[in-house]
Structure 1
């Protein structure tokens, strides 16, 4: 018997994986969430400097966020992390869908085709004290990944507290 999952099993795991990400998801106005989304097929799309600059510029555009507020973000070669505080109107799903659509439309000239994977991961930041700790963790991602020795050497991030 093979230890590899059958092709049909992989599709089932993927479908339930996305459903599991949505299960129990709550969008609480005024709360901060750490959000992560990956590129389609985890392609390192943002090793291309022009593509990375397009998403970086798009990330700071207020029209990308509706009534949510982007507190902190970092763009890695194959994924994006952000710390977002929800407003009164928009859900986490709407905020992420808007971000992915907004950035993908703007990237179309530099990176045709599908940019982002379907799903995303979210984690509510429980206490106000944890918001800045979450921001520090997000912006340190390029250092932990070995891309740079100092976050100051990495061009694709920002934080409202700086």
Structure 2
């Protein structure tokens, strides 16, 4: 079966590889692109779950930006399988946010996620800058400093 004939969620998984030590750029979207993370409290709950993935030793977050309706997450995979890591993040963040009383009657996250395994020659600092500049391109802030839902660490070459 050709990849283009697969349903969208299965196309996202087609050819996915999970390698500990590799850096990945992951993008995931809220269900129906609802701007759930326009709410400061709900955004901080989701960011807390990113931090929990780091604390559990599953990954090291290198950069992220949580937009109102999606997440861009640059991470170095540690002990977890990439799909399991993203599933854990989405599940735990959905539980915390739903417990906080997110309005609406549907699931928090859209099924699946997009990932890109970075090659050694790709410039991680440039990719991190692109990620954290998303709110500027979307017109949500005039300066990166004005947008509260991002972080990046100093990136060393691989």
Q: TM-score range by the shorter chain?
A: 0.7 to 0.9
* Partner in structure 1 of residue 47 of structure 2: 56
* Partner in structure 2 of residue 3 of structure 1: none
Runs of 5+ consecutive residues of structure 2 not aligned to the other structure? none
- 1:91 and 2:81 aligned: yes
- 1:151 and 2:144 aligned: yes
Q: Pairwise CA RMSD of aligned residues?
A: 2.2
Change (3 A) 1:121 1:129: closer
* Aligned with residue 133 of structure 1, among 126, 132, 144: 126
Q: Secondary structure of 1:136's partner?
A: helix
Change (3 A) 1:121 1:65: farther
Which structure has the bigger radius of gyration?
1
Deviations for 1:47-97, whole angstroms, at most 9, x for unmatched residues?
Answer: 12221121122222346754211111110000011001111x321101100
TM-score, length of structure 2 as denominator length: 0.85
Q: Structure 1: which 4+ aligned runs deviate by more than 3 Å?
A: 62-66
Q: For the residues of structure 2 that align with 1:104 and 1:14, how far apart are their CA atoms?
A: 30
* Partner in structure 2 of residue 81 of structure 1: 72
* Partner in structure 2 of residue 102 of structure 1: 92
Runs of 5+ consecutive residues of structure 1 not aligned to the other structure? 1-12
